[in-house]
Amino acid sequence: MEKLPHHYHAQALGGPTGSLDIQSDGLTNLEVAAPKEFDGPGDKWSPEDLLVASVASCLILTFRAIATASKLEWSELSCEVEGVLEKVDRKIQFTEMHINASLKIKSQEDEEKAAQIIEKAEKNCLITNSLTSAKHLNTNVIIA
Protein backbone atom coordinates (compact mmCIF):
# COMPACT_ATOMS: atom_id res chain seq x y z
CA MET A 1 0.00 0.00 0.00
CA GLU A 2 1.21 3.49 -0.78
CA LYS A 3 1.84 5.93 2.04
CA LEU A 4 -1.23 7.90 3.17
CA PRO A 5 -2.87 10.25 2.45
CA HIS A 6 -4.27 8.95 -0.85
CA HIS A 7 -6.13 11.28 -3.20
CA TYR A 8 -8.89 10.12 -5.53
CA HIS A 9 -10.28 12.24 -8.33
CA ALA A 10 -13.45 11.98 -10.39
CA GLN A 11 -15.42 14.32 -12.56
CA ALA A 12 -19.13 14.35 -13.37
CA LEU A 13 -20.48 16.11 -16.45
CA GLY A 14 -24.16 16.80 -17.07
CA GLY A 15 -26.64 19.13 -18.63
CA PRO A 16 -30.14 20.34 -17.69
CA THR A 17 -31.64 16.91 -18.49
CA GLY A 18 -30.51 13.37 -19.20
CA SER A 19 -27.74 11.24 -17.80
CA LEU A 20 -24.45 12.33 -16.33
CA ASP A 21 -21.07 11.07 -17.42
CA ILE A 22 -18.67 10.17 -14.61
CA GLN A 23 -14.98 10.07 -15.46
CA SER A 24 -11.71 9.29 -13.74
CA ASP A 25 -8.29 8.99 -15.37
CA GLY A 26 -7.58 5.50 -16.62
CA LEU A 27 -11.09 4.18 -15.91
CA THR A 28 -14.09 3.41 -18.07
CA ASN A 29 -16.64 6.22 -18.01
CA LEU A 30 -19.94 5.51 -16.28
CA GLU A 31 -23.35 6.79 -17.30
CA VAL A 32 -25.27 7.87 -14.19
CA ALA A 33 -28.84 9.04 -13.66
CA ALA A 34 -31.26 9.59 -10.81
CA PRO A 35 -32.78 6.34 -9.53
CA LYS A 36 -36.41 5.54 -10.37
CA GLU A 37 -37.34 6.43 -6.77
CA PHE A 38 -36.34 10.03 -7.63
CA ASP A 39 -38.10 9.95 -11.02
CA GLY A 40 -35.03 8.76 -12.91
CA PRO A 41 -35.14 6.19 -15.71
CA GLY A 42 -34.12 3.26 -13.48
CA ASP A 43 -31.84 1.77 -16.12
CA LYS A 44 -28.57 3.47 -15.15
CA TRP A 45 -26.33 3.45 -12.10
CA SER A 46 -27.34 6.14 -9.62
CA PRO A 47 -25.24 7.79 -6.91
CA GLU A 48 -27.26 5.75 -4.41
CA ASP A 49 -26.48 2.49 -6.25
CA LEU A 50 -22.80 3.42 -6.45
CA LEU A 51 -22.59 4.09 -2.71
CA VAL A 52 -24.20 0.77 -1.80
CA ALA A 53 -22.02 -1.06 -4.36
CA SER A 54 -18.96 0.64 -2.82
CA VAL A 55 -19.85 -0.85 0.57
CA ALA A 56 -20.16 -4.33 -0.96
CA SER A 57 -16.99 -4.18 -3.03
CA CYS A 58 -14.92 -2.59 -0.25
CA LEU A 59 -15.89 -5.37 2.15
CA ILE A 60 -14.79 -8.03 -0.35
CA LEU A 61 -11.49 -6.32 -1.15
CA THR A 62 -10.74 -5.75 2.55
CA PHE A 63 -11.66 -9.38 3.28
CA ARG A 64 -9.35 -10.53 0.48
CA ALA A 65 -6.38 -8.71 2.01
CA ILE A 66 -7.04 -9.96 5.55
CA ALA A 67 -7.77 -13.54 4.38
CA THR A 68 -4.50 -13.59 2.44
CA ALA A 69 -2.53 -12.36 5.46
CA SER A 70 -4.36 -14.95 7.63
CA LYS A 71 -3.73 -17.73 5.11
CA LEU A 72 -7.44 -18.58 4.88
CA GLU A 73 -8.40 -20.71 1.88
CA TRP A 74 -11.67 -19.58 0.35
CA SER A 75 -13.29 -19.71 -3.06
CA GLU A 76 -15.97 -17.00 -3.20
CA LEU A 77 -17.43 -14.14 -1.19
CA SER A 78 -20.78 -12.71 -2.17
CA CYS A 79 -21.82 -9.47 -0.53
CA GLU A 80 -25.33 -8.07 -0.87
CA VAL A 81 -25.99 -4.66 0.65
CA GLU A 82 -29.28 -2.88 1.22
CA GLY A 83 -29.00 0.82 1.99
CA VAL A 84 -31.94 2.44 3.77
CA LEU A 85 -32.57 6.05 2.76
CA GLU A 86 -34.72 8.14 5.12
CA LYS A 87 -35.46 11.71 6.07
CA VAL A 88 -33.68 12.74 9.29
CA ASP A 89 -33.91 16.31 10.59
CA ARG A 90 -35.31 17.45 7.22
CA LYS A 91 -32.36 15.90 5.34
CA ILE A 92 -32.46 12.75 3.24
CA GLN A 93 -29.63 10.40 4.14
CA PHE A 94 -28.67 6.76 4.38
CA THR A 95 -29.49 5.66 7.93
CA GLU A 96 -28.61 1.97 7.68
CA MET A 97 -26.54 -0.45 5.64
CA HIS A 98 -27.62 -4.08 5.87
CA ILE A 99 -24.65 -6.16 4.73
CA ASN A 100 -25.22 -9.84 3.92
CA ALA A 101 -21.97 -11.66 3.28
CA SER A 102 -21.90 -15.28 2.12
CA LEU A 103 -18.48 -16.94 2.05
CA LYS A 104 -17.52 -20.30 0.55
CA ILE A 105 -14.62 -22.13 2.18
CA LYS A 106 -13.28 -25.67 1.76
CA SER A 107 -12.69 -26.78 5.34
CA GLN A 108 -15.12 -26.83 8.24
CA GLU A 109 -12.09 -26.33 10.50
CA ASP A 110 -11.80 -22.78 9.13
CA GLU A 111 -15.46 -21.84 9.70
CA GLU A 112 -14.94 -19.79 12.90
CA LYS A 113 -11.77 -18.15 11.55
CA ALA A 114 -13.59 -17.24 8.32
CA ALA A 115 -16.49 -15.61 10.19
CA GLN A 116 -14.03 -13.61 12.31
CA ILE A 117 -12.20 -12.40 9.21
CA ILE A 118 -15.47 -11.21 7.62
CA GLU A 119 -16.25 -9.24 10.79
CA LYS A 120 -12.73 -7.81 10.84
CA ALA A 121 -13.05 -6.84 7.18
CA GLU A 122 -16.30 -4.97 7.87
CA LYS A 123 -14.72 -3.13 10.80
CA ASN A 124 -11.70 -2.17 8.65
CA CYS A 125 -13.50 -1.29 5.42
CA LEU A 126 -12.63 2.32 4.65
CA ILE A 127 -15.98 2.95 2.96
CA THR A 128 -18.15 1.83 5.90
CA ASN A 129 -15.78 3.62 8.27
CA SER A 130 -16.47 6.81 6.30
CA LEU A 131 -20.26 6.55 6.66
CA THR A 132 -22.38 7.71 9.57
CA SER A 133 -25.19 5.24 8.88
CA ALA A 134 -25.65 2.20 11.11
CA LYS A 135 -24.08 -0.99 9.77
CA HIS A 136 -25.62 -4.43 10.26
CA LEU A 137 -23.49 -7.40 9.20
CA ASN A 138 -25.00 -10.83 8.64
CA THR A 139 -22.54 -13.58 7.71
CA ASN A 140 -23.06 -17.00 6.24
CA VAL A 141 -20.09 -19.35 5.92
CA ILE A 142 -20.67 -22.25 3.52
CA ILE A 143 -18.48 -25.35 3.37
CA ALA A 144 -18.17 -26.24 -0.31
What pLDDT, on a 0 to 100 scale, did the predictor assign at position 1? 85
CA distances 80 to 32, 38, 40, 54, Å, are: 21, 22, 23, 11
Is residue 64 helix, strand or coil?
helix
What pLDDT, on a 0 to 100 scale, did the predictor assign at position 40? 95
Q: Enumerate residue ranges in the chain where pLDDT < 70.
A: none
Q: Can you list the positions of beta strands (E) in 33-90?
A: 74-88
1-45: CATH, from 2.40.50, 3.30.160, 1.10.3470, 2.20.25: 2.20.25
47-143: CATH, from 2.40.40.20, 3.30.300.20, 3.40.50.920, 1.10.3720.10: 3.30.300.20
What pLDDT, on a 0 to 100 scale, did the predictor assign at position 51? 97
Residue 52: count of CB within 10 angstroms of its CB: 20
Q: What is the pTM of this model?
A: 0.93
Q: Where are the domains of the chain?
A: 1-45, 47-143
Cα separation, 140 vs 114, whole angstroms: 10
Query: Mean of the per-residue pLDDT values for the chain?
Result: 96
